Amino acid sequence: MRSFSLLPAILLAAVVSIPALAADNTKTSAKPEQAATEAAPGDSTTEGMLNAGGEHIAYTAVAGTITVGATDAEDAQLGLDGKPLPGTPAALVKNPADAPPTASMFYVAYFKKGADPETRPVTFLYNGGPGSATVWLHMGSFGPVRVETPGDQHLAAAPYKLEENPYSLLDVTDLVFIDAPGLGFGQFHGKDPEKAFWGVDEDGEAFARFIARFLGKYGRWNSPKYLFGESYGTTRSAVLADILENEKSIDLNGVMLLSQDFVFSADIDSPHDNPGIDLPYETALPTYAATAWYHHKVPNQPAELLPFLKEVETFAMGDYAHALQEGTDLSQTEKQAIAEKIHNYTGLPVDYLMRANLRVSGLQFAKQLLQGQDTTTGRLDTRYTGPTLDSQSEYAQYDPQASAIASAYLSLFNNYVRKTLKYGIGETYVPDAGIGVPSAKWDWKHNGDPINLNVLPDLAEAMKTDPRLKVMVNGGYYDLATPFYAAWYDDKHLPIPASLAKNIQYDWYKSGHMVYVNADSLKALHDNVEAFIRSTDAGNL
């Protein structure tokens, strides 16, 4: 998830009882079948069974850390145990506090037993923030178990339910869930590590070094390789794909994006801070309409969502975009007509739209849509609702969806990682470093440019230097954090030849930012990702 100041602080939840499902099917083992080297000291290896994709899958899980340096030169001085190699300059430093900065990055890898590592795909998955651990994707999407999150309201308190995941991707690919530097059970060492790893470019380089070390550690250099990032994780994927392709000479079979976030000047959370840039209002309008449709706030409610959204998209990039372009030249008559049209799509009051100058931010919309019910809609998933904290405020002050599920995810993960994966006993798992937007701790400069972050050129360069690279874009209709139509618009404006546009596929779901929270949407996401992997991998699955 992408972190914002309005989200409640995510604290470590109390350990709760986990069903016997996961624990009964696991046992400790010496090492994963595919491992080319012994597991590092402190790593934990377990085994499990799973029914997924019509198969009874036996798998090996490894929970551990891989240490990376802050530069390629420093990385080359590290052994697999994370310690400086004998005879290197790093090994000669006497005071550990003066040593070059390193980061031990926590990961959990799931390997299908009996598969040939030469042809078996491997997918690297991570969340975003920046500064968010990958507990969300790990426990909600494609791992062997998932958190049960029925409905669209705040879950009852513990005990929560962890269930076998029939939509795990272990039927087609091995899975590696990675926490960013400074997150999870990872540790920083050396001098000024936050400065060395917390930034757009620094983070991308760290993940590239992690992947290269992982491929060497487990003998997976010749495996088909995929990236799967969510939210800021998609930002990372664009940067990372370019680094892997053009700095590390590691071609990827595919890049899978969930809830894409590429152009930060098009952010709908606070577009009022960027006057003159009206695109965020236009690309968010279909999400407003989908939300109003879901909550039955659309006048003359259409029976079907998708044809309705097509009509809204046409209006958003046509009459609405033209009206906003007019600025102060827009007549009151034209303004009134546009406000009435927006009202017909979103249910927002005409007088409110007029006072807002036809420009409503995402946080204003979340507060205003159900204002009469003193209810706030979600940001990550607008189907969720909760009591409004302050009826007089202009903006939503929290996200009902984040509040609804965070405790379940963190409670069950903290239990699962210790009781089933046998890792982290006596340690603290850090789910959020608090370095998201806004934060002075994160370096937002990209390639030396301090202006608003835009990673479209990164993905474009990766696609142009490897014309066979395939990209899959996934998003939810009810995602107000990273609206689906904004992703579509951005990718249609990638600086690539028209001939490469066919390398990108789009899949949308009746879900929110975390598409996988809804079981039906997770099934559709699994099926689409499975088909994508099979179509881009010529090996023996």
Q: What is the pLDDT of residues 293-334, one digit of tens each?
A: 999 999 999 999 999 999 999 999 999 999 999 999 999 999
Q: Give CA angle at 148 (146, 154), nearest 5°.
A: 135
SS3 label, residue 521? helix
Residue range 2-24: mean pLDDT, rounded: 33
Give the model confidence (pLDDT) of 104-131 as tens digits.
999 999 999 999 998 999 999 999 999 9
**Residue 11 pLDDT more than 90?**
no
Predicted confidence at residue 116, as pLDDT, reads 93
CATH number of 20-265+405-536: 3.40.50.1820
The answer to whether the beta carbons of residues 170 and 51 sit under 8 Å apart is no
Predicted confidence at residue 38, as pLDDT, reads 42
Q: What's the whole-model pTM score?
A: 0.92
Domain-wise residue ranges, the chain: 20-265+405-536, 267-401
Predicted confidence at residue 181, as pLDDT, reads 97
Predicted confidence at residue 141, as pLDDT, reads 97
Mean pLDDT rounded to a whole number for the chain: 90
Strand (E) or helix (H) holding 203: helix 200-217
Percent of the chain with pLDDT over 70: 91
Residue range 30-47: mean pLDDT, rounded: 61
Predicted confidence at residue 29, as pLDDT, reads 38
User: Which residues are 65's β-sheet partners?
Assistant: 106
Confidence of residue 2 (pLDDT cuts 50, 70, 90): very low
**Residue 153 pLDDT more than 90?**
no
Confidence of residue 448 (pLDDT cuts 50, 70, 90): confident
Give the model confidence (pLDDT) of 235-283 as tens digits.
999 999 999 999 999 999 999 999 999 999 889 998 998 999 999 999 9
**Residue 423, Cα to own-chain centre: how many angstroms?**
24
Confidence of residue 483 (pLDDT cuts 50, 70, 90): very high
Whether the bond between 483 and the residue before it is cis, its omega within 30 degrees of 0, is: no
SS3 label, residue 147? strand
Confidence of residue 19 (pLDDT cuts 50, 70, 90): very low
Confidence of residue 25 (pLDDT cuts 50, 70, 90): very low
Residues 11 and 25: their CA atoms lie apart, in Å, by: 29
